[in-house]
Amino acid sequence: MKNFKRITALALILFMFLASLASCVDEDKNKNDTTVADTTEQTVTDSKTVIVSDGTTQYKIIRKADAYPDEQFLDAYLLVKNSICEKGNCTITLGVDFKRSTDTYDLETYEILVGNTGYDETKTVMNSIDYYQFAIKKVGNKIVIAAHTEELIIAACEYFSENLLKVETNSENKSEVVYMGDYVSEITQTAFFSDENKLSDYVIIYPSSNENKEDAERLSTFLSTKYGIELAVKSDATAAVQKEILIGITNRTESTKYTGQNTNANNIMQFVKIEGVKIVLTGKIKSSTECAVTTFMGMLGNLNYSFMCNIPTDTNVESAAFPATDTNELAEGANLRIMSYNILSEEWNDKTPITDRQYYIAATILYYSPDVIGLQEVSTKWYGALPDLISSDYTMVCTKTSKGEYNYTGMAYNKNKVKLLESGTDIFDAGNSTRLRLVTWGYYEKLDTHEKFFVMNTHWCIYQENRILESSEMAALYNTYKAKYNCPVITTGDYNANESSTEYLNYKNLTGLLNARVNATVKNRLVKTYHTIGEATTSNYAASIDQIFYTNDLTCLYYNTLIDEIVLESSDHCPIYADFKLD
């Protein structure tokens, strides 16, 4: 979906540069649900401002030259255009604020400036309003529609289109579209930062253990790069000052209030809190704090909409580090959970870096807490990020293959639940990559019951002729290990094969294994497991290529495909898991 949005946005930009006129559209755009109370008096200008006269206009509509504008903003921007076109029965030029460093904007040109453009007129209006307020003002030959947030600029466009455009007939009996005057909305929220409480007065504090020092520096760099605000970064060994941003479990009482021994917070809870004038960004573990810092940076603002940043005084985030849609409790009667998750290597597409995705994937793993997880597409960069994020609970298995390469078909186990007894890798003779096309295996013992089980994880080739060979190779490996270890076996992976494929059926026939999605007592959310990243999947579950197979000496009580906004944004595969009873 993200790629589609970006292609659509880029097409719109090219259209505006190459075509000077954009005709009215027939269909109304959907309006954002945001409503702003009309409590501020509208100011009528002394002389009438005519935008359209007798089907023609001198005005252009200008927005920020952003290569990938948000779809909702584009809807609002086009709503301004459509409203003028429909009321004035005209066409109007669309444009962006792009200019060379040696160029200047033309003060004499009649323009409607929408959002955070580079024009001085926009900056003047934005500086005149509160952070949580929008304004529509005429400055010289410009009509400025301005706000500091996406929500409010959308509301401003809607207000302009619905309330400030009036159709009149002039003395020559010609139709005109008239701008009805300036408007400033009420303030929708109270801003935390102000002239009396400047963000630039704060110090960023991290624990003296240095655990979250990188997060503190990340926040400092973000503020400096994005907003030109330079904040000192210090450990909590320094004396406390009044205005501090506390990162992680510092020795300040404001931090321990949320993560101390007497709190009910679990390991993946994130907290973004305001305590007096202090700001608390923390969690019980490093990855949760990292998410809290990321959440805070996202709350501060967006340079596409404003050159300023702020947060509401009532900021109060206390949630899982991602919006979990399901309970993480084991199915009744189960004592073993196995997960399979293709986490999408960043190498295949430069539009899918691991940045941000690692927090969501780590939180998913920590929240659902499988005993063992089979991972696919664990690239070198993933090995540099994921193991540390989940290290409180998980240990990676066989990070290198027998050839000494990074093992892209990795595995991790929950060290609080199971013990790894033996492990290894077997590279397929067939396949297009020795890093990807292999089996990683582990022989495990439950810490509480001492029951033993065996897990194999794989990622079959994208070419069917190789998958058919790999299905036979893996079946032979399964039969060897089953005979050797004489315990229940689960095989996970991205098989690149659905239930009707030759290779899938060959593997099942050679091993006699059952499929959790087909044979579980309870099957939750039967959907296709792969999708375009950022987009919803479909109900065609039989087309799924991610599988969890198991031997008949296990009882599969529950199968689940995880789907929520975070999961869909994290990878092009949904994680799946199964809850078993070790008989």
Q: What is the pLDDT of residues 437-492, one digit of tens each?
A: 999 999 999 999 999 999 999 999 999 999 999 999 999 999 999 999 999 999 99
Query: What integer best gives the mean pLDDT of the chain?
Result: 89
DSSP string, 130-195: -TT-EEEEEETTEEEEEESSHHHHHHHHHHHHHHSEEEEE-TTS-EEEEE--BEEPPP-S-BS--S
What is the reported pLDDT for 9? Answer: 43
Alpha carbon separation from 11 to 7, 14, 95, 353, 444 (Å, rounded) = 6, 5, 13, 23, 53
Nearest Cα neighbor of 570 from 364, 383, 406 is 364
Higher-confidence position of 310 and 261: 310
Q: Does residue 325 fall inside a structural domain?
A: no
At residue 37, the pLDDT reads 42
Answer yes or no: do 345 and 458 share one domain.
Answer: yes
Q: Quick one: average pLDDT of 525-533? A: 86
In the predicted model, is pLDDT for residue 426 greater than 70?
Answer: yes
Residue ending a domain, among 149, 184, 219, is 184
Q: Is residue 192 part of a domain?
A: no
Instruction: Give percent of the chain above pLDDT 70.
Output: 90
238: Cβ contacts below 8 Å, ≥ 6 apart: 205
Q: Which two tokens stand for residue 5?
A: 């949005």
How confident is the model at residue 33, as a pLDDT? 39
Res 67: pLDDT: 64
Per-residue confidence at 165, pLDDT binned at 50, 70, 90? very high
| Domain boundary, last residue among 296, 320, 344 | 320
Please enumerate in sequence order all residues whose Cβ is within 8 A of that of 52, keeping only pairs 6 or more positions apart, or say none.
59, 84, 87, 88, 89, 90, 175, 176, 177
- pLDDT digits over 95-149, tens only? 999 988 888 899 999 999 999 999 999 999 999 999 999 999 999 999 999 999 9
pLDDT at 159: 98
Domain count within the chain:
3
**Is residue 162 located within the same domain as residue 224?**
no
Residue 10 pLDDT grade (very low, low, confident, very high; cuts 50, 70, 90): very low
pLDDT for 42 beyond 70: no
Q: Are residues 536 and 475 in the same domain?
A: yes
Q: Is the pLDDT of residue 343 over 80?
A: yes
Give the C-alpha separation, 390 to 328, whole Å.
16
Facing residues of 337 across strands? 579
Of 153-162, 260-269, 281-290, least confident by mean pLDDT is 260-269
Is residue 452 included in any domain, yes or no?
A: yes
Q: Is the pLDDT reported for residue 4 higher than 60?
A: no
Residues 395 and 526 placed together within one structural domain of the fold: yes
- In DSSP terms, 167 is beta-bridged to 177
Tokens of 469: 């060979």
**What distance in Å separates the CA atoms of residue 195 and residue 39, rounded to the nearest whole number?**
25
Q: What is the CATH number of the domain that holds 232?
A: 3.30.379.10
Same domain, 129 and 256: no
- Do 41 and 104 lie in one domain? The reply is yes
109 within some domain: yes
pLDDT band at 504 (very low <50, low <70, confident <90, very high): very high
Q: What is the pLDDT of residue 31?
A: 35
- The per-residue pLDDT for range 534-557, each reduced to its tens digit, is 888 888 888 999 999 999 999 999
Q: How far is the C-alpha of 92 from the C-alpha of 113, rounded, in Å?
A: 13
More confident residue, 198 or 7: 198
| pLDDT top residue among 183 and 3 | 183
Asked, for residue 59, whether it belongs to a domain, the answer is yes
Model confidence at 28: pLDDT above 50: no
Residues 115 and 221 in one domain: no
Helices and strands counted in the chain (H then E): 13, 28
Q: Which of 66-80, 83-97, 457-471 has the lowest mean pLDDT?
A: 66-80
Residue pair 261/183 in contact by the 8 Å Cβ criterion = no
**Shared domain check, 54 and 135:** yes
pTM assigned to the model: 0.57
Does residue 46 sit in the same domain as residue 164? yes
pLDDT reported for residue 211:
87
483 or 259, which is more confident:
483
Q: What is the pLDDT of residue 264?
A: 62
Residues 360 and 251 in one domain: no
Query: Which range of residues forms the domain containing residue 98?
Result: 2-184
Residue 492 lies in a domain: yes
For the segment 430-434, the average pLDDT, to the nearest whole number, is 90
pLDDT at 318: 87
- What is the rounded average pLDDT of the residues 321-337? 85
Q: How far apart are CA 143 and CA 161, in angstroms?
A: 13
Least Cα distance to 369 among 575, 583, 548 occurs for 575
Q: Which of 29-43, 44-58, 97-111 has the lowest mean pLDDT?
A: 29-43
> Does residue 247 register a pLDDT over 90?
yes
Domain end residue (candidates: 289, 320, 351): 320
Instruction: Tell me: pLDDT of 23 over 60.
Output: no
Residue 169 located in a structural domain = yes
- pLDDT tens per residue, range 181-207: 999 999 999 999 999 999 999 999 999
Q: Which pLDDT value is given to residue 267? A: 65
Examine the domain organization and report whether 212 and 155 are in the same domain.
no
Question: 566 falls in which pLDDT band (50, 70, 90)?
Answer: confident
CATH number of the domain encompassing residue 518: 3.60.10.10
Let me know if residue 329 belongs to a domain.
Answer: no
DSSP state of 495: -
Burial bucket for residue 141 (CB in 10 Å: 0-12, 13-18, 19+): middle
The helix/strand/coil state of 64 is: coil
Q: Give me the helices (H) in 48-111, please.
A: 71-88
pLDDT of residue 481: 98
Q: Are residues 404 and 530 in the same domain?
A: yes
What is the chain's length?
583
